[in-house]
Each structure stands twice: as structure tokens, then as C-alpha cells.
Structure 1
Amino acid sequence: MSEIIAETLKQVLSKMLVTKIIHVDFQAKPLHGGTLGHVQLVTGNAETADGGKLPFKIVSKTQTKWERYSDPDSWRREYDFYQSNFGALFSESFRWPECYHVEMNEEENETQIWMEYIDGISGLDLTGDMYERAAEELGRFQGKLYAEQPAFLQNLTNLSNVEYMKNFYLHYRSWKRVYDYIRSDDCEIPKHLCKMLIDVDENADEILNRIEKLPIVLCHRDFWVTNIIYSDGNMIIIDWDTAGWGYLGEDLASLIADEADTEHMVEYYRRCIPAYYKGFSEYADISPITDNCVYEMILLMFGYRLVEWYMDAGSGNKLQETDDERTLHIDTLQKIYEMRIEQ
């Protein structure tokens, strides 16, 4: 693994294992996730100065510069966070992986982060109770920061903008490929689902005005099941490169709808919103809020994306795989439709 320098690994492990490491034998394998970065699990044995051998597991994440729409500095955000006092914001029950070493290669515009490997439950293996716990801990985390307003957080320069969700939606809405498709006679998405999305477009100004009255909180902005790890009763959240200011409930929309467990999606919607508000209300009074807008946020953030995924389903794949993908996206839209009953 050419990008790993043995000297750096020895320094990293010396810090992680709290003893001087003089030699390492290691192997690396790619980890799932890290769509926009190169994430690897590095394992092996470290030799200490007194001749002992210690097994280790550590994660190496390399991120090369790229520009996300309306958020050009997101590629280096985790590096900036780990260089700051951001970690002090967390609790034992809701935190990110501990970092042991960060590097910035200015010439290559590339960051490398060495961090704790978390062994736990993630993705669609999360249970309903774990979803609910994640929602409550998220609310508690955001409520505490909203109430305390730590000064250093206000001074962080590399945070995504509060308008990110709005700009994301307007960007998709201006894309004629998806906008025209749900309005065309050739559209194969059920008409009641198309109407649901068209209604959002027709009422977008009023919806956005309601959302913009909600409290502004620190959002993860990629708070979906693959970035949530349940370990020993705690929630460890990875991939903070989209984090920034957003609205109360914005992360909850991702938890419920981003590549969702469609079978339980409506149930999780019903369970997670009260849990989230319970956590948040431990620190801040939310009684004046009569409309949480989570349903509308789900439609703004994922409505047109699901249309795009449906249209792109099965590119180069077998027919059956194409049908399965399209069915999944239709099922997700249908579950969002059914959430209206829960309003």
C-alpha cells in the first residue's frame, strides 16, 4: 500500500497505543463507504520498544480536493474539524471517531486522517430502537449547542451554509431532465407520486418560509444509516464533511429517507420525530414550534433525487436488477406519500 508510509504509521500507533512503536507489520483493505474519499482499514501487529507485540486496527481516510455543489470546501472540512476543538462538542453517547493524526498535502490538495476503528452495528442492520436512539441523541446534541452557543463554534469558518438545503432543492428543480419527466406523458412513476412532487414545487415558497422560521442548529447533513454506528450503547457518527448550519429536523429527514428501510420507513418517521424533540427539549424550549416540517424537508431533499435514481436505475445492469432498483425508489416515494397521514 504505497500511500502508507511506515514512519507515519509508527508515529500514529505510538499515539494510539500510548507506547513507542519501533516496527509495524500491516495489511490494508478498503472499507465500505467513503464514496468521495479513499477509506481503508489498516490492521496488523505493532512492535514496542521493549519487544512486545500489540495487535491494532485503525482507519486511514485520504481525501483529494473536489468541489461539491454550493459547498466547495467540504473536501477538507473533516481535516479542519479535527485540527480544531470541534471534538469537545461531543459526549460519550454521541461522538465521532477519535483522531490520532492528520496531514495536509498542500501541493496535492489532499488530506489524510488516521482515526479510530469502530466495531458496531450500522446501515440497514440498525433496529427501530437504534433509529429512535440515534434521533434522541441527535436532538440532545443539537439542543445543547443551540442553548450554549459555544464561541469557538461561531468562529469556525469552514461550515456549510444554512441555505444549503434550499439551494440543493432549487438546483434540482431547475434541472429540466427530472422536472419535465414527472410532468410528461412518458413518465412511468405513478401519477399520485408525481403530483406529490409537483405540489411541493407549487408551494415551495410557503414551505421554505415555514422552514426558515425553525431554529438554526449545527447539522451533520449526511445523517443516514451508513454514517451511524451503534456500539456499546453509544452512537458514533462518521463522515462530517458536509456539516454546517441548517434547520431543526434537517438531519432527521436524512435519517428517515436516505436509502431508507422502506418496510419500516413510516414507523421510523412516527417514532423518531418525538424522540428527536425529546432530546432537543432537554436544553431548549421548543413548545412554540407547531410544525416540525420534517415531511417537507424529506420531499425537498429526496423527492427529485429519487426521480433521478429511478431514471438512472440499472445503467449497464441486468434487467432484473433494473426493475428491483426502480421498485425500491417507487416504494420509497410511496412511503413518503403515506407519511402525510402521520402529519
Structure 2
Amino acid sequence: MPDTDAEVADAQGVYEEARQVLGPFTGPVFLAPLTHNPKNGVTGGVWVVNAGDRSAILKVLTRSKEATGRWAASEDPRHWNYWRREADVYTSGLAQVWQPYGVRAPRLLARVERPGGDIALWLERVRGEPATRWTPARHIEHARRLGAAQGAVGAVADEPWLSHRFLRQYVGGNTLGQELLDDDEAWRQPLVRDHFPEGLRREVVRLHHDRDWFLDIMESLPRAFSHLDHWPANTCADGPHSAVFDWAFAGDGALGEDLGNYLPDSVFDLFVPAARLPEYAARAYDAYLHGLRESGWKGDENLVRLAVRASAVKYDWLTALMLANAGEAQLDYGGGQSVDAERRYRERGMTLAYLGEWATEARALAPRLGFPEAPSGR
């Protein structure tokens, strides 16, 4: 398929698929690629498809794309990068279980099993404002809706293709640059030296040392059906709802884990200024908790707080990656455009330091709730 806007006569049967899915139309089919992670071996591509006055999103799932290391497609239904999962989440209806509470997925228009083994997902095109452009207030309202949805739905029936132990597998697969955490020269690189806060090295090394303890905690907390890739680039407004895309990792998670991913990711990719993160995160957490209570959830709030704070472990790998890439060109998500390297390192450094505070709070809170003390103590 083309990788730029193009008129398509019959690329991989798209024309005939479009006629079957969208109904009769006149003229050609046009495909425009959408930003996604090009390294992921599960994703054959994502496009906006325009055919006459009809429009849809086409996402192709594959296991035949060349991908190395952790981004290789998996045949294991429990693996975090199982190649068919998103199709199963949509087909089963699980992608829509949060809809009554204000969070929904695009409607599945068709699932097409292609002769070569790929799966084409034809999805509704949701045209609302992307969350990458939301104000903090809109993010906070989304957090309330997410809390209401996860509080009401909780865990779901254990389908064999839902991801399990996602966080442990995902973090364990991110190993690039870990040896640099103890490398003085790596910490003296100009981008790192000039833009990482004082004391950050101590906190990230400590988090790395305690990684298994944090993962054990996250796996012991109350469970919820979770998106597990919940961040602004996968979210947009949809009238009174929030629409959430990309359900490829969905499965079992800790209650609060999705929020613990969403908040720092709002800053890591420069959608919310790092200076606003403490206030933004506090208000979003309160909104999430309000949503939980609104749904009738009656659990211990401290367990949710612990899940959000302990979810800092998801970013154990990020400092090491930044040390490894401090001498490289800095590209945005999808690799299409360059970003201001100094701004990225400054904003991410501040956010990693804030996650260090989350980790410290988790170490203090866990023993009070009956969990073992962290190896590094308080």
C-alpha cells in the first residue's frame, strides 16, 4: 500500500473491501496514512479511507511484518503484543463496555480476514478534537469518565486472548541502555547534564533496583479491564463521550493503572507542560476517584492511590533509553518530524523526577496496606 496520500485502484483489495463495507460509491478510493508506531510488527498500517462521500479508518493487523526485538508480533494470546488481540477485542464487544459511562471505542464496521493471513479492521472515523490538543480541564473530565467506567465494569470474563502480566512483560522487554544508568560519562552528556534535574539519577537507579517489587505490587492490587496503552494520542473527543483507539494491549490491569499511564504520557510527548503536572495529576486523580465513587465502587481508595503511584515502574526503561539516545536526532512519535531536543529532555527529566516522587510515596504506602516493604526501604 502507498505510504503517502494516493489514489488507489485496487491495492490489496482495498477497493472491493471499501465497496463491501461502505456501500456503493462512485469514483476512486483515497488512502491517507495515519501516525502510528512503525516499529510494531503487529501493525501493517493505519489509514483514513475516503470513497466518494464515505469515510472510515482502516487498520491492518499482521504477523508477517519484519520487526526486531520487543516489537515483534507474538502468536501467544497472553503476550502483550499478540497480533490478533485488537480484532478480538472489537469483535467480542469488549471495546464498547465502557460506553455507558462516557468512554467508547470507534464502531467496528467490518473485520475482514484477508487471503494472506492479515486482518483488516474497518472502523468508524471519529472526528472529534484529538486529546493531544485538549486543555488540562478536558483531560481531567476524561479521568472522571474513566474512573466511572472502570469502577462500574471492573474486571471482565477472562477471555484467552486478553493480555496478562502486561506491565511485567512490557517493562522487561525494554532493555536498551540499561547499562548506562551506572555510566558516569552517559550522565555527563550535554542534553542529560543540562536538562535532567539534580537527584534524578539516584531516583531512577533506585526504581530500577526495586523494579520487581513494584511489579509484584501492581499484580497484587484490585483488578480491572484495562486499555494498557491509554494516552492522549489514542484518545479524542466525541461529543459527550471520549473515544479511545488502539486496543491492541487490552487485558488485565490494576485499577488505576490506565490513569497512571495517561498522566505522565501527557507530558512525555509534550501535550501538557511538565510544570503543570503536579497540579494536573492531583486534579485528575481526584476526578478518577470521584468517577469510581459515582459508579458505586466501594473499595479502599488507598489501593487505587498505590496503583497509580506504583505504576511509575512502567517508565523504568525510559531514562536508560534517553541516555542511549542523547546523541541522536530527536523524532516525534511515529518518526515523521524532529522535535526540540532540549525541550524534550527538560520536560521528560522533570516528569521522571515527579515519577520518582510517586515511587517514594508507593514505598511508604504499601507496607501500611499490608504489602512487603521495598528492598531499598523508604
TM range (shorter): 0.7 to 0.9
Shift in Å, 1:221? 0.6
Q: Give how far 1:58 is off.
A: 0.9
The alpha carbon displacement at 1:317 in A equals: 6.2
Q: Is contact 1:270-1:342 (8 Å) kept?
A: no
Q: Is the alpha carbon distance of 1:33 and 1:179 closer, same or farther for their aligned partners in structure 2, counting shifts above 3 Å?
A: closer
Choose the corresponding residue for 1:74, options 82, 94, 117: 82
- Does residue 235 (structure 1) correspond to residue 242 (structure 2)? The answer is yes
SS at match of 2:32: strand
Q: CA deviation at 1:207?
A: 3.5
Q: Specify the SS of the correspondent of 1:112.
A: strand
Q: Which amino acid in the other structure matches residue 29 of structure 2?
A: F
User: 1:199 & 1:317 partners in 2: Cα distance?
Assistant: 27
Q: Paired residue for 1:284, among 275, 285, 297? A: 297
2:69 corresponding residue in structure 1: none
More displaced 10-residue stretch of structure 1: 208-217 or 65-74: 65-74
Q: Deviations over 1:238-262 (max 9, x none)?
A: 0000101011111111111125222
For residues 166-210 of structure 1, the C-alpha deviation after alignment (integer angstroms, 9 at most, x for no partner) is: 3333444xx4x5333222222234551111112223444544444
Alpha-carbon distance change, 83 to 338 in structure 1, aligned in 2, over 3 angstroms = closer
Q: Aligned pair in 2 of structure 1 residues 8, 212: CA closer, same or farther (>3 Å)?
A: closer
Distance 1:328 1:238 in 2: 26
**Letter of the structure 2 residue corresponding to residue 58 of structure 1:** A
Contact 1:44 1:56 in 2 (8 A): yes
Q: CA deviation at 1:114?
A: 0.7
1:60 counterpart = 2:58: yes
Report what 2:278 is aligned to: 266
Q: Does 1:194 align with 2:201?
A: yes
- 1:248 equivalent in structure 2: 255
Specify the alignment match of 1:179 in structure 2. 178
CA 1:263–1:201 in 2, change beyond 3 Å: closer, same or farther?
Answer: same
Taking a change above 3 Å as real, the CA distance of residues 315 and 88 of structure 1, as seen in their structure-2 partners, is closer
**Is the Cα contact below 8 Å between 1:266 and 1:336 reproduced in 2?**
no
Are residue 219 (structure 1) and residue 226 (structure 2) matched? yes
- Give the conservation status (yes or no) of the 8 Å contact 2:228–2:258: yes
CA contact (8 A) 1:6 1:24 kept: no
Task: Give 1:2-151 correspondences, 5 Å limit.
Answer: 2-14=11-23, 21=24, 23-33=26-36, 35=38, 36=40, 37=43, 38-45=45-52, 55-65=53-63, 66-67=72-73, 71=79, 74-91=82-99, 93-105=102-114, 108-146=116-154
Percent identical among aligned pairs is 21
- In structure 1, the gaps of 5 or more residues are 15-20, 46-54
Aligned to 1:309: 322
1:327 and 2:346 are equivalent in the alignment = yes
Structure 1 range deviating more: 248-257 or 289-298: 289-298
Cα distance change on mapping 1:294 and 1:155 into 2, 3 Å: closer
Mapped partners of 2:240, 2:352: distance in 1: 32
Normalized per residue, which structure has more strand?
1
Equivalenced residues, count: 317
CA distance in 1, matches of 2:62, 2:359: 41
Pick aligned residue for 2:167 from 159, 165, 181: 165
- Aligned-pair CA distance for 1:102: 0.7
1:276/1:180 CA distance change after superposition, 3 Å: same
- Contact conserved, 2:80 with 2:169, CA < 8 A, in 1? no
Q: 1:309 to 1:184 in 2, by over 3 A?
A: closer
What is the alpha-carbon distance in structure 2 between the residues aligned to residue 44 and residue 267 of structure 1?
Answer: 45
Q: Work out whether residues 204 and 316 of structure 2, in 8 Å CA contact, stay in contact via their aligned partners in 1.
A: yes
* Kept in 1: contact 2:153–2:225 (CA 8 A): yes
Unmatched tracts of structure 2, length 5 or more: 1-7, 64-71, 332-337, 363-378
* Residues 158 and 266 of structure 1, relative CA distance in 2, 3 Å threshold: same
Length-normalised TM-score, structure 1: 0.81
Distance between the aligned counterparts of 1:71 and 1:270, measured in 2?
32
SS in structure 2 at match of 1:182 = helix
* Distance change (3 Å), C-alpha of 1:309 and 1:317: closer
Alpha-carbon spacing, 1:245–1:205, altered in 2? closer, same or farther (3 Å): same
